[in-house]
Structure 1
Amino acid sequence: MNRNYLFILILSIATPALPVSAQEGWFKRFVQKTISDTTGEGKSSFRVYPTLGYAPETSVEVGLSSLLLFQAKGDTLNRLSEVAAFTFITLEGQYGIWLDNAIYGDKDKWFFLGRTRFQRFPLLYYGIGHTTPDKEPALIDANYLLFRQRVLRKIRKNLFIGPEIDYQQLYNAEFRQPEGHVYDEPLGSDGTRNIGLGLALVYDNRHNVLNVRKGFFGELSFLKYNQSVGSHHNFQGINLDIRSSHPLTKRNVLAWQVYGNFLTGNVPFNQMALMGGEMIMRGYYYGRYRDNNMLATQVEHRWLPFGFSKRFGGAVFAGAAVVGPKIGSLTPARARLSGGVGLRYLLFPKKDIYLRLDVGFTKDGPGFYLFTGEAF
């Protein structure tokens, strides 16, 4: 989902540089509590900070972001686990809550990786395929619920395997055609519910999921959605996600990712391979291009932090992606390109966690993103 964000937290970052007289009162205390990191090693950290944003389809948006960081049993030798939440409400009466988790058990015995979404938010629909029109998109206004979780067991060092479940439901849906252009209503546009069951194989030697300075993550998973378990449609998919980060110097990191979705069967429009969003192909609206298959890649250089600052850093990134009805149609000639720059702020110094503000540029224009932790 692509939103143009202006964040209150940016004001709190700048506030400590103001004269003392301008920082008195409750706002100063709130800012200091929000951006300070006083917890010791092995101790859990929890922060809540407000957000303010704007998007053409929602008008003004306000919300709260929160982040819980901890290590199993308070042991610094265990990996850093994170649970991130984001809630929002708009002046148009739209609302939602997002929850993401990457939780490692003691000595990596278990690994819980997943995300939950609930939102009442319009979905822009441009059609299916790599040549969808630039005209005004259709709008599908609906309630959307997603629950996807992997329960992984370590089978050897850094290697995990386990079941995966994906539940997605689109209900109270209304398909609104734009003036002067008519779209064929896609499968699932009047509402759909699908339950996917499958298996995930994950290799992960990262120690800090939110800011990987050195490490490799690879996931290969299979999900099957069948009417026999309550799905409205029968389809299946293979997902591929490979990420690698390489330290060039103490402050510089080069990272790359290859990401793919490959689906067959009667796939509803909202569960197709979707290009865009806050993770990959930043700058494109999430789902600007969609089809049964997608292959995407990106590379990013990060300064964490800049050499002249203890807290501010930056990034430059570029990506390419292609969607198509079959794997054979994923050719370079059909690829879309994106690129951009980002600003980083060290939110948790003792845990090396940064707040990122990215601006992605595409042929459709810029997209703005602010999240805790890197995109990949």
Structure 2
Amino acid sequence: MLALIVTVRATHVSAQNGWFKRFVQKTISDTTGEGKSSFRIYPTLGYAPETSLEIGLSSLLLFQAKGDTLNRLSEVAAFTFVTLEGQYGIWLDNAIYGDKDKWFFLGRTRFQRFPLLYYGIGHTTPDKEPALIDANYLLFRQRVLRRVMPNFFIGPEIDYQQLYNAEFRQPDDHFYDEPAGSDGTRNIGLGAALVYDNRHNVLNVRKGLFGELSFLKYNQSVGSHYNFQGFNLDVRSSHPLTRRNVLAWQIYGNFFTGNVPFNQMALMGGEMIMRGYYYGRYRDKNMLATQVEHRWLPFGFSKRFGGVVFAGAAVVGPKISSLVPARARLSGGVGLRYLLFRKKDIYLRLDVGFTGDGPGFYLFTGEAF
């Protein structure tokens, strides 16, 4: 999705419009001191073939427990959008650390009415017009983690996903077999997560390691429509090369067994990993992906602007043994960074990812990983 940020400047606002200048200062400028909470709102404007014009509003709450700068920076990010096609959605992400890291709440919530493009299942899906699954989608995933050793957390995890009011629309010139869950599905996963995290700033990691291994089991006995289970792996590491330069890498995997609905399979693409591919362009029960990124934060000739180059590879398959390099897809790209909150070292990112399917555009607050 191509997205452009719309910012407002109040340099020449008249005295009669002082309220507008104060609004801009509170939402765009970075005036809060260290340890103080910070809340910002900024509008976005976007376009995608499946949505037409999109208008959105993003907000970001940053704080440190008890206002102590020795505590990690917590963030709650929200994004809401509406399109000319009548689509809409609300996204909410949280990474909240308690005082002295005793607790860690990590999760995301999604509600949206948005088309899901379906190209089929497997690593060799056809290069033809996809089917369209129009539905309401609700996701709630939350981990409640307790520190048991320095930087090491453990705790329960819940994942609730529901697809309802679903309609599977076949393309005009060919047909897809309708996958499990295409007429709507509800699944509840219960499990646990092990997390190692020594990052201090989740949105812009200049040095640190994050590792997560989680297990979720979905069963009809707790209200799910399907019985399946899976492990999720996420390892991210960032290494400062100089004061401005960071080298980061990530290994990411999903490994499922059972009767997995199409929307909860391992999905390749999106704004986090394999940028440039539509989210779910390739899907199956298993996926292994990796990416590397070099960041200039900021450029040596600028106080606000920076950039990145990145590359990634991923493979999907029905079994772990089918995740072989010969079946991998590649992606790469470049990005522009703008220092949105100087005192908290938070950047706005605009990435362009290139793949065999063409380019993809992404605009978000904070780095992809």
Q: Which residue does the alignment assign to 1:6? A: 4
C-alpha distance in 2, partners of 1:302/1:189? 40
In structure 1, which of residues 115, 120, 134 is the aligned counterpart of residue 113 of structure 2?
A: 120
Which residue of 13, 30, 47 maps to 2:40? 47
Report how far residue 6 of structure 1 moved: 2.2
Match of 2:257 among 264, 271, 294: 264
Residue 307 (1) aligns with residue 300 (2):
yes
State whether residues 103 and 147 of structure 2, in contact with CA within 8 Å, keep that contact through their aligned partners in structure 1: yes
Displacement after TM superposition at 1:28 (Å): 6.1
Structure 2 partner of 1:141: 134
- Of 244, 247, 254, the residue aligned with 1:251 is 244
Encode CA deviations 1:26-75: one digit per residue, 9 max, x unaligned: 77665444331110110000000111111111111101000000000000
- For the aligned residue pairs, the C-alpha RMSD in angstroms reads 1.3
1:370 aligns with 2:363: yes
| Cα-to-partner distance string for 1:269-323 (whole Å, 9 max, x where unaligned) | 0000000000000000000000000000000000000001111100000000000
Relative to the length of structure 1, the TM-score reads 0.95
* C-alpha contact (below 8 Å) 2:27/2:39 kept by paired residues: no
Q: For residue 270 of structure 1, give the secondary structure of its aligned residue in structure 2.
A: helix
1:341 and 2:339 aligned = no
TM-score normalised by L of structure 2: 0.97
Q: Percent identity?
A: 89
Matches within 5 A, 1:20-31: 31=24
Residues 1-376 of structure 1: matches in 2 within 5 Å?
Answer: 3-9=1-7, 12=8, 31-376=24-369
Letter in 1 for 2:30: D
Counterparts of 2:28 and 2:306, CA distance in 1? 16
Letter in 2 for 1:236: Q
Query: Residue deviations 1:196-255, cap 9 Å, x none?
Result: 000100000000000000000000000000000000000000000000000000000000
Give the Cα separation in 2 of the matches to 1:102 and 1:305. 24
> Which amino acid in the other structure matches residue 6 of structure 1?
L
Tell me the secondary structure at the aligned position of residue 177 of structure 2.
coil
Distance across 2 between alignment mates of 1:235 and 1:196? 9
Quote the Cα distance in structure 1 between the aligned partners of 2:28 and 2:298. 16
**Aligned amino acid, residue 339 of structure 1:** G
Q: Count how many residue pairs are aligned between Structure 1 and Structure 2.
A: 366
Amino acid at match of 1:335: A
Distance, in Å, in 1 between the alignment partners of 2:215 and 2:123 is: 24
- Structure 1 stretches of 4+ with a deviation exceeding 2 A read 23-35
- Partners of 1:338 and 1:179 in 2: how far apart? 30
2-structure distance, mates of 1:265, 1:373? 35
Tell me, in whole angstroms, the C-alpha distance in 2 between the residues paired with 1:65 and 1:35: 12
Q: Helix, strand or coil: the match of 1:178? A: coil
Q: Which amino acid aligns with 2:321?
A: G
For residues 45 and 344 of structure 2, what CA distance do their matches in structure 1 show? 26
Q: Which amino acid aligns with 1:98?
A: W
